[in-house]
Amino acid sequence: MAPTPHELIREGGVLCRADRVVAVGRADGMDAAGAQRIDLGDALILPGFVNAHTHLELSALAGRLAPTCDFPGWICSLRAHVTRWSLDELRASILRGVREIAAAGVTGIGNITARPETDAALFVGHSRATDDYAFCDSGGRRIHWRCFCELLGLREEEAEGLLEKTLLRQSLIDSFWPRAAFGLAPHAPYSVSPKLLRRCFEVADAKQIAITIHAAETREEERFCLLGDGALFDMVREFGALPDEWRPPRKRPLEYLAEMGLGRSPALVAHANYANDDEIRWMAAHDISVAFCPTSHQFFDHAPYPLRQMLAAGVNVCVATDSLASSTTLDPLEAVRLAAPLCPELPAADWIAMITTNAARALNMKCEIAPSYEPRRLDSLDHGEGSQSRSSGENPGRNAGAGFNVFSLERSCNHPLDALLRGDARLLSPESWQT
């Protein structure tokens, strides 16, 4: 078993009493008198996966949008689909995504919700009194959510109102989701005004709220910020979202965001496909985590990802999937297998950390198998606050997130995590071993 990806215990076990983990270690060294023994055979127990960046409300678009290099055109196609959806269709799209991530062994997620109606879609038919929500319980797994509420708006005069409305969603999430925590998601440098960006970073720092933003994702974004023209500029203007008085910042996206306040507190940057060496070093120095989405990166045929540079600089990199509108999967392990050829010398433990401990850190969760002193289902083990210690005002139990996965090893190998990367391990459903 591997309590964390970098700690392997041969002949290991987990001792549970009354749905609580009370000991982790070698099975033959545990005081397990009276306990039922479940022999998993040649298997690996490790933390549940954490998908740090996705948009589950777009799950119904799986296979509907073709791979393309035209990012603005893709946004237009996406909008044409999503704006027609009813509340029931939106809910069905989210639930499709939930079922897929649960089947992949995901027990922690950073999900961006672009529409306030998403909250209603999730809460319909449920009350806080019930702990069996379809959207966070699928296939016997309980999923812990970091709910990033997205903000868009380039008009300075609307900034305070947009932020105030978004912050109201925090109380709704806190009231209805016992396994969720709120976060802010100003969308991107090309869709959020300078005032709204500054206020989001200020509030995130002052109230210790998790924050994420798409940045350095495309060359079109660079052109928008540096020159104020190009295909992305034309798209935003055609949407009627660009004020007459708008002027480009004349800076690269990450440089601009740093000026607006990114880096005041820990944050998660989604993609960073085109971050340069100086920006990478700056992110490492300011506790900025990065969500690398290999399937989405391939979908848009981006330039080679600067993964080696990020790891060498000490950036906390996690691997995520993005949405099914630009990805073929919501399974973080599949995404890792796609990315692994970028750094074939990297140990398997480092790759698995990108979808467990690194990803949990990016979401202010903690991801390890350790004794839990609160009653939990066996697949829902919380362990307190994450390493960033940014949880003031939140219930720490909501903020920690991964349970554990059990993989049956199909072939013998020197290290069981190598079997995961090669595809020689099969994820067991909780029902198959919780008996």
Rounded distance between C-alpha atoms, residue 303 and residue 372, angstroms: 44
Sequence letter at residue 66: A
| Total Cβ atoms within 10 A of residue 225 | 25
Calculate helix-pair angle for 219-227, 253-260, nearest 10 degrees.
Answer: 60
Residue 153 is given by DSSP the state B
CA angle 326, 169, 98 (to 5 degrees): 40
Q: Where are the beta strands (DSSP E) in 190-281?
A: 210-215, 267-271
CATH number (3.20.20.140, 3.50.50.60, 3.30.420.40, 2.40.50.140) of 47-367 reads 3.20.20.140
Instruction: List residues bridging with 425 in a β-sheet.
Output: 409
Rg (CA), the chain: 21
Residue 198's CB is within 10 A of a number of other CB atoms, namely 17
Tokens 């709220």 identify what position? 209
The residue among 72, 48, 162, 25 whose CA lies nearest residue 403 is: 48
Q: Is 419 exposed, middle or buried (0-12, 13-18, 19+ CB in 10 A)?
A: buried
**E-assigned strand segments in 218-306:** 267-271, 288-292
Domain limits of the chain? 47-367
Tokens of 227: 């020159």
Q: What is the pLDDT along the chain (435 residues), one digit of tens a residue?
A: 898 999 999 888 888 776 667 888 888 888 777 788 888 888 999 989 999 999 999 999 999 999 999 999 999 999 999 999 998 899 899 989 999 999 999 989 999 998 777 766 665 544 443 444 444 445 557 788 899 999 999 999 999 999 999 998 888 777 766 678 899 999 999 999 999 999 999 999 999 999 999 999 999 999 999 999 999 999 999 999 999 999 999 999 999 999 999 999 999 999 999 999 999 999 999 999 999 999 999 999 999 999 999 999 999 999 999 999 999 999 999 999 999 999 999 999 999 999 999 999 999 987 777 765 333 333 333 333 333 333 333 333 333 333 689 999 987 777 899 999 999 999 988 777 765
Distance from CA of residue 371 to its chain's centroid? 25
Find the Cα–Cα–Cα–Cα dihedral 331, 376, 8, 266, rounded to 10°.
Answer: 60
d(CA 294, CA 292): 6
Q: Which two three-digit tokens encode residue 195?
A: 């005032």
Q: Distance between CA 20 and CA 375 in Å, rounded?
A: 5
Residue 279 is predicted with a pLDDT of 98
